[in-house]
Amino acid sequence: MTTASPAYQSNVTHTITLASLASDTNLLAGREGTAIDNAGTDDAIDAMVGGKVTTGTSPTAARQIEIWLSGSYDGTSYAGAATGSDANLTLVEKTLLKLLTIIPTGSTSNVTHTWGPFSVAQAFGGTMPRKWSVFVVHNTGVNLNSTGGNHEVKHAPVKYESA
């Protein structure tokens, strides 16, 4: 009898520039990462995504950092006017993205918030999109920490193996 077991692949680091990301009161202007190509590169049944983000100096208390996913149904068009590139992005239709988590923040400077792991397939109703990207936005009142190494987004592709 053959048994299928999940096989976690090596972590993949996303290209997303979060250092000094500006705060947005309306939680619409943030940063999108370069898209992950599941159809051509990963060919995974799921991906467990997570990372860390670090607040800046003297943030406002009781604010938040939001982590969202944008997917592509055809490999070129993305939900919410995302582009699949590491770039600033101001959303018009935020509800078209999939919310992964909301991280509450306080007024302490330079706090690193580790988030995840979250299932990408679950966020999209159980099936991986052809391509997907991460979108980060916050309203902490100050720019995020300016050191690039204090932020990261990674995912581990999940495939099945026969045993």
Better-scored residue on pLDDT, 113 or 161: 113
Residue 87 within any structural domain of the chain: yes
Q: C-alpha distances in angstroms, 107 versus 57, 62, 75?
A: 9, 8, 40
Where in the sequence is the domain holding 20, given as residue range(s)? 14-162
CATH number of domain containing 112:
2.60.120
Residue 9 within any structural domain of the chain: no
Domain count along the chain: 1
Q: How far is CA 104 from the centre of its chain?
A: 16
The 10s digit of each residue's pLDDT in 25-81 is: 999 999 999 999 998 766 899 999 999 999 999 999 999 999 999 999 999 999 999
**Predicted local confidence at residue 162, as pLDDT:** 81
Handedness of CA 65, 153, 15, 56 (dihedral sign): positive
